[in-house]
Chain A
Amino acid sequence: MIEFLQHLGKNTRTGFTKLGRGSFFLLQTLSGILSVLARPRLLFNQMYSVGVLSFLIITISGLFVGMVLGLQGYYILSDFGAEETLGVMVAASLVRELGPVVAALLFAGRAGSALTAEIGLMKATEQLSGMEMMAVDPIKRIISPRFLAGFLSMPLLAALFSAVGIIGGQMVGSGLLGVDEGAYWSQMQAKLDFQDDIINGVIKSIVFGFVASWIALFEGYDAIPTSEGVSRATTRTVVNSAFSILGLDFILTALMFGDN
């Protein structure tokens, strides 16, 4: 029993210490953003490797998620003779939930893990230390551009995911199952609200991009500089990002759509 309490206490303390280090790291990262804006090339390079290189996985996943939504939605809606509203269902689920959430999960798996491994290995091979000794702040030079790139890419990737998904739903819905194409689009146009649906979805993806980039960079920066340490940090990035994204999604949904 005593041992259990000791264990609990130790773990809690480790957890809070890490949270403290993480918050301090975030503050340093944010304070380095100004100097990134002065050197946009650093940002563009990172937007390419974090954002553009995630295009393929986001597009293909978005397409399939949209197609599945089209199928499932059609079977349920056609029971009520409401298959004309398929467009609304597909678009609302994507823009409000699946777009931001699934894109963020994919982002954490594709770009987040790569960021952690990159930073962790830079630490293990003394590159970060070397930069410090060359009087170059690794936070400003390495971390902040990557953070900003992740933060800016996420909403764009989520928008891409939703857009491709809506097209996928339309392909299945009106291409295969015979929902009227005009109805698919016009119902969607009529029912979806810019403020309630689209903006809220964008806010979600901004929050997820912030959190996923923070976790990925911090885990890399905080990794034990050995091969085992970096591999563990990479795993932690994916697991912790998934938890944070799903947990935050519940909270944000409750706040945004609670009083409807």
Chain B
Amino acid sequence: MDNSVSPQNSLVSVKNLSFSRGNKKIFDDISLEFERGKITAIMGPSGTGKTTLLKLIGGQLFPEQGTVSVDGNNVHRLRRSELYNLRKRMGMLFQSGALLTDMNVFDNVAFPLREHTHLPESMIRTLVLMKLQAVGLRGARNLMPNELSGGMARRIALARAIALDPMMIMYDEPFTGQDPISKGALVHLIKSLNTILGLTSIVVSHDVQETAAIADYIYVISEGKIVGQGSPKEIEQSESDWVQQFMTGAADGPAHFHYPAKDYIDDLLSTGKRY
């Protein structure tokens, strides 16, 4: 393992993790370390279970084998109340934003504060406006979630994720489906929040350029295994065919263009069957 990540300094460490869904093995004995104060990216093609990994770290799913520890706590051994207390210090940004659709922007950001603190309404207002200002959407406080564009919804969700001043944030595909300007805004936000608030960030993404621009350390995952890891520079210069294909976006390579199927000619010539 690379020496630049020492387990002592990691906030989240995943050890020998295995997880299956049905008969499909999503993770096969993988270990990852997420260093405090850094942005660590997990990259890989769609469907490799990157979101699943975040849900395992957040304690929403249980692994078959291996451990996940966050700030020294084994997530899957905690009691329910302890897990909930830990989650108050973990922010998560869902791909869809997961804003509550029956509340406006202000109430969405105020939601965790109202649920977990007994602050007076005037202080909640100040805090919410500060968080909204940080993501540049203070003026949108009265809009409903269905009036927001995808990029705005994600920024509001980000404001909500930092409402309780967590120690870490997990971003699930923050750049997917965003126009270049929103992408740029999110890249800037993730980086600056990490620096200013002293967060630890985990970014799950398959957007190579955006992620490489802000990540301190990158893991590339494919078919349940880690196929490459290192700083963005090291990943770029990686000799692994797999990593090269992913970073350059070649259509065919170790990851095949074709979904597994029987021989093409045989398939075309076998008449009589419908499929």
Contacts and interface: CB of A to CB of B under 8 A. Distances in A.
A137 B116 CA distance: 11
Contact of B96 (A126, A135, A137): A126
Given A125-B101, A126-B96, A129-B94, A134 B60 contact: no
B191 interface: no
A19 interface: no
Interface string B78-104: 000000110110111011101111000
A130 B157 CA distance: 10
Nearest to A126: B98
B116 A135 contact: yes
A133 B87 contact: yes
Contacts of A141: 115
Interface in A113-151: 122, 125-127, 129-137, 141
B90 A136 contact: no
A136 B112 contact: yes
Contacts of B164: 134
Interface in B100-125: 100-101, 111-112, 115-116
Contact of A133 (B60, B96, B115, B116): B60
Given A125-B101, A127-B100, A134 B115 contact: yes
Nearest to B95: A126
A137 B83 CA distance: 11
A137 B84 contact: yes
A93 B242 CA distance: 75
A113 B214 CA distance: 46
B87 A135 contact: yes
A45 B100 CA distance: 16
B112 A127 contact: no
Interface residues of A, number: 14
Given A130-B92, A133-B60, A137-B84, A125 B98 contact: yes
A133 B92 contact: yes
Nearest to A124: B96
Contacts of B85: 135
Nearest to A128: B98
A148 B95 CA distance: 32
Given A134-B115, A135-B116, A141-B115, A127 B84 contact: no
B58 interface: yes
Nearest to A130: B98
Contacts of A131: 100
B87 A134 contact: yes
Contacts of B160: 134
A125 B98 CA distance: 6
Contacts of A137: 84
Contact of A135 (B55, B84, B157): B84
Contacts of B98: 125-127, 129-130
Given A135-B116, A141-B115, A129 B60 contact: yes
A127 B101 contact: yes
Nearest to B60: A132
A131 B58 CA distance: 12
Most buried by B among A125, A133, A135: A133
A134 B111 contact: yes
Contacts of A133: 58, 60, 87, 90-92, 94
A229 B88 CA distance: 31
A136 B98 CA distance: 14
B62 to A, nearest CB: 14
Contacts of B90: 133
Contacts of B58: 132-133
Most buried by B among A122, A130, A134: A134
A126 B94 contact: yes
A205 to B, nearest CB: 28
Nearest to B54: A133
The 5 closest A-B pairs by CB, nearest first: A130-B98, A135-B87, A126-B98, A133-B92, A135-B84
18 contacts: A122-B101, A125-B96, A125-B101, A129-B55, A129-B98, A130-B98, A130-B99, A130-B157, A133-B87, A134-B88, A134-B164, A135-B84, A135-B85, A135-B115, A135-B116, A136-B111, A136-B112, A141-B115
